[in-house]
């Protein structure tokens, strides 16, 4: 079988090894080592196969000499002898069952051993009660059936604004109850991850029982997944899970910290606490010697007890933020209020829905000092007439400056969509990939490099071309591209449109290391989209970007000089 050796495949391989070890009752720490390695590969910002080629596998934290050797064998021959030994006597179907929420290795193994072939077969065998005779009991089987429904229905993750909307509705419901003293969205939503799995919410209250009961009565509840003294999970539309945790106000800071995560951030924090003689949980910080618990009403209390700064939630991925916080060296991240203008927008001159004047006025009301209209450079566009309209609009008012721009396709044959003399008439040129997304890596890289060499080009827009939940991004040699962009003094875009969020946060951080500067834009196609700027800012923050890394935080006068604008 042809295999592509993607990060996803390696992740699955490592998770399967972990699961097999669990079934065979291996050392729990060995099991965790494989899980940690799988997590690391899954979240790696570079292609694992490329790291292998440059002999950098052991630079992935959590991948040590053993796993690196196994992966070397895997990339060389397509299989790993040791893993095959581990998988011995384990039916293959077990690994399919792991995809069902609520089914872990032990249950999956038991099902496979009972002769269940696949998920469809499992569904049939539960419904026909065949499995009841094979050592399974009724309630767990019912839960597995629910899990199968969820597996079939649920797209893995949802876009950040969709999660935000669900959270908003549930928070409004929660706030109606007088026992709710405070309530916040946490988890990946608070960390502003591009896509969110479950919606996590917290409540401070002295009456958790009442709050949990009230939560379960949220009008959109489709199913109650679980319900305990301090926590509950409901399922709402589209199978989206909403998790609630309740703590009294004196522990609320600990709860915020615990439930914001990420998992790896928490694990690192707890190891750190342990070294200093403390144990962290959602109830506070316990001094191990004395068993004395120090409550943390505010989140800052958790961090200050360990002698560190509070990292902004966007940074809590255990990617160096804890070390930085300990040294008091956290970056001052860019904020929405720093943004002075929007440089990537569309009007109905191309595929937008509003006029240039409407877009400009809407931008003015959001407090923008300038806006670039960067319509697609369709060859049929009446470029000069459009330029004239912009010029006239600028003369007609002085509340906002409209910058003339174009978004120009980089063709698959490395040429640009329109000739240089048209580009020259515009103040800002964005280039982007809109066709042939699957060119081989080297061709794609050269295609981009060639476009960047054009002296009229200023910004490389939504660089990876990914569409979240729909389409993977292009494959390119990002390090080479980042170096070139920095050298040319050009810019990368962070596109804030919710299903793009492109450049992705991990690549923002990498590009920044090479000295690249960015624009954060909305890519608005109608006036309502102009307020999507906050999502682009979130991506920049997750990429450790500060105000000075972002050129559209500059007032128009300064932007004009670095972009060499005409007026």
Partner DNA sequence: GCCGTTTTCGGCCCGACTGTTTTCAGTCG
Residues that bind DNA (CB under 7 A): 22, 27, 29-30, 32-34, 36-37, 58, 61-68, 82, 101-108, 137-140, 142-143, 187, 197-198, 200, 226-231, 241, 243, 261, 263, 266-267, 270-271, 273-275, 279-283, 286
Looking at the Cβ atoms of 235 and 522, the one nearer to DNA is 235
Report how far residue 421's alpha carbon sits from residue 409's, in angstroms, rounded to the nearest whole number: 16
Contact 542, 510 (CB under 8 A): no
Q: How far is the CB of 317 from DNA (least distance, A)?
A: 14
Q: How far is the CB of 472 from DNA (least distance, A)?
A: 23
Looking at the Cβ atoms of 197 and 249, the one nearer to DNA is 197
80 alpha-carbon distance from chain centroid: 31
Looking at the Cβ atoms of 29 and 395, the one nearer to DNA is 29
Looking at the Cβ atoms of 63 and 530, the one nearer to DNA is 63
- CA 113, 117, 120, 124 torsion: positive or negative? negative
Looking at the Cβ atoms of 293 and 357, the one nearer to DNA is 293
Looking at the Cβ atoms of 146 and 439, the one nearer to DNA is 146
Looking at the Cβ atoms of 48 and 511, the one nearer to DNA is 48
| Cis amide leading into 262 (omega within 30) | yes
Q: How far is the CB of 533 from DNA (least distance, A)?
A: 29
Q: How far is the CB of 143 from DNA (least distance, A)?
A: 5
Looking at the Cβ atoms of 246 and 474, the one nearer to DNA is 246
Report how far residue 344's alpha carbon sits from residue 353's, in angstroms, rounded to the nearest whole number: 15
Report how far residue 545's alpha carbon sits from residue 543's, in angstroms, rounded to the nearest whole number: 5
Here the tokens at position 177 are 């109850």
**Cβ within 8 Å of residue 77, ≥6 positions away:** none
Neighbours of 290 (CB within 10 A): 8
Looking at the Cβ atoms of 230 and 316, the one nearer to DNA is 230
Q: How far is the CB of 326 from DNA (least distance, A)?
A: 11
Looking at the Cβ atoms of 28 and 489, the one nearer to DNA is 28
**Cβ within 8 Å of residue 184, ≥6 positions away:** 171, 190, 201, 202, 256
CA angle (202 as vertex; 199, 203 as ends), nearest 5: 140
CA angle (305 as vertex; 299, 310 as ends), nearest 5: 45
Local structure of residue 474 (DSSP, 8 states): P
Closest CA to 345 of 378, 379, 382, 372: 372
84 alpha-carbon distance from chain centroid: 34
Strand, helix or coil for residue 158: strand
Strand, helix or coil for residue 520: strand
Looking at the Cβ atoms of 285 and 433, the one nearer to DNA is 285
Looking at the Cβ atoms of 267 and 381, the one nearer to DNA is 267
Q: How far is the CB of 30 from DNA (least distance, A)?
A: 4
Q: How far is the CB of 499 from DNA (least distance, A)?
A: 23
Looking at the Cβ atoms of 36 and 485, the one nearer to DNA is 36
Q: How far is the CB of 65 from DNA (least distance, A)?
A: 5
Q: How far is the CB of 193 from DNA (least distance, A)?
A: 12
Here the tokens at position 299 are 């989140």
Report how far residue 474's alpha carbon sits from residue 453's, in angstroms, rounded to the nearest whole number: 20
Q: How far is the CB of 39 from DNA (least distance, A)?
A: 11
Q: How far is the CB of 208 from DNA (least distance, A)?
A: 8
Q: How far is the CB of 261 from DNA (least distance, A)?
A: 7
Which DSSP helix (H) or strand (E) runs through 442?
helix 441-453
Q: How far is the CB of 199 from DNA (least distance, A)?
A: 11
DSSP secondary structure of 369-428 = SEEEEEEE--TTS-HHHHHHHHHHHHHH-SSSEEEEEEEEEB-TTS-BSS-HHHHTTSSE
DSSP secondary structure of 199-256 = EEEEEE-S-HHHHHHHHHT-TT--EEEEE-SSEEEEE-GGG-EEEEEEE-GGGHHHHH
Report how far residue 282's alpha carbon sits from residue 245's, in angstroms, rounded to the nearest whole number: 10
């Amino acid at each position: 079988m042809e295999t592509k050796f993607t990060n996803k495949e390696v992740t699955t391989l490592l998770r399967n090894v972990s699961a097999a070890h669990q079934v065979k009752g291996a050392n729990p720490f060995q099991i965790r080592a494989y899980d940690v390695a799988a997590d690391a590969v899954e979240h790696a910002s570079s292609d694992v196969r490329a790291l292998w080629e440059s002999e950098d596998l052991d630079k992935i934290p959590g991948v040590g000499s053993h796993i690196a050797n196994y992966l070397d064998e895997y990339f060389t021959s397509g299989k790993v002898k040791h893993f095959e030994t581990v998988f011995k006597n384990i039916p293959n179907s077990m690994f399919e069952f792991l995809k069902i929420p609520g089914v872990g290795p032990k249950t999956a193994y038991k099902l496979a051993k009972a002769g269940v072939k696949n998920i469809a077969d499992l569904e049939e065998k539960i419904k026909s009660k065949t499995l009841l005779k094979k050592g399974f009991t009724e309630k767990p089987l019912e839960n597995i059936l629910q899990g199968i429904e969820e597996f079939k229905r649920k797209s893995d993750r949802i876009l950040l604004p969709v999660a935000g909307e669900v959270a908003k509705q549930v928070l409004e419901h929660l706030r109606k109850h007088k026992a709710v003293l405070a309530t916040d969205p946490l988890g990946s939503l608070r960390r502003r991850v591009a896509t969110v799995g479950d919606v996590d919410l917290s409540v401070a209250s002295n009456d958790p029982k009442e709050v949990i009961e009230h939560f379960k009565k949220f009008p959109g509840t489709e199913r109650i997944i679980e319900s305990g003294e301090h926590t509950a999970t409901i399922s709402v539309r589209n199978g989206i899970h909403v998790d609630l945790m309740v703590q009294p106000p004196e522990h609320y800071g600990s709860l915020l910290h615990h439930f914001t995560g990420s998992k790896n951030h928490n694990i690192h924090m707890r190891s750190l606490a342990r070294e200093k003689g403390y144990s962290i949980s959602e109830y506070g910080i316990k001094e191990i010697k004395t068993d004395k618990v120090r409550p943390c009403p505010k989140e800052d209390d958790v961090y200050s007890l360990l002698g560190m700064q509070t990292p902004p939630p966007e940074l809590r991925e255990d990617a160096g933020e804890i070390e930085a916080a300990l040294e008091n060296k956290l970056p001052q991240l860019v904020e929405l209020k720093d943004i002075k203008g929007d440089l990537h927008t569309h009007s109905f001159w191309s595929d937008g829905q509003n006029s240039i004047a409407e877009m400009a006025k809407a931008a003015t009301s959001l407090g923008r000092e300038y806006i670039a209209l960067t319509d697609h450079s369709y060859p049929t566009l009446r470029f000069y007439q459009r330029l004239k309209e912009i010029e006239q609009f600028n003369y007609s008012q002085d509340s906002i400056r409209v910058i003339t721009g174009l978004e120009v396709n980089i063709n698959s044959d490395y040429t640009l969509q329109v000739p240089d003399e048209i580009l020259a008439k515009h103040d800002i040129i964005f280039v982007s990939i809109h066709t042939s997304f699957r060119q081989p890596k080297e061709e794609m890289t050269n295609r981009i490099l060639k476009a960047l060499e054009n002296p009229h080009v200023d910004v490389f827009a939504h660089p990876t071309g990914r569409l979240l939940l729909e389409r993977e991004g292009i494959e390119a040699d990002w390090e080479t591209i980042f170096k070139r962009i920095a050298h040319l003094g050009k810019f990368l875009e962070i596109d804030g449109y919710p299903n793009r969020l492109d450049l992705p946060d991990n690549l923002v951080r990498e590009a920044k290391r090479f000295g690249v500067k960015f624009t954060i834009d909305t890519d608005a196609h109608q006036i309502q989209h102009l307020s999507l700027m906050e999502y682009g800012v979130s991506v920049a923050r997750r990429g450790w970007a500060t105000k000075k890394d972002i050129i559209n935080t500059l007032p128009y006068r300064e932007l004009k000089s670095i972009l060499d604008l005409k007026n």
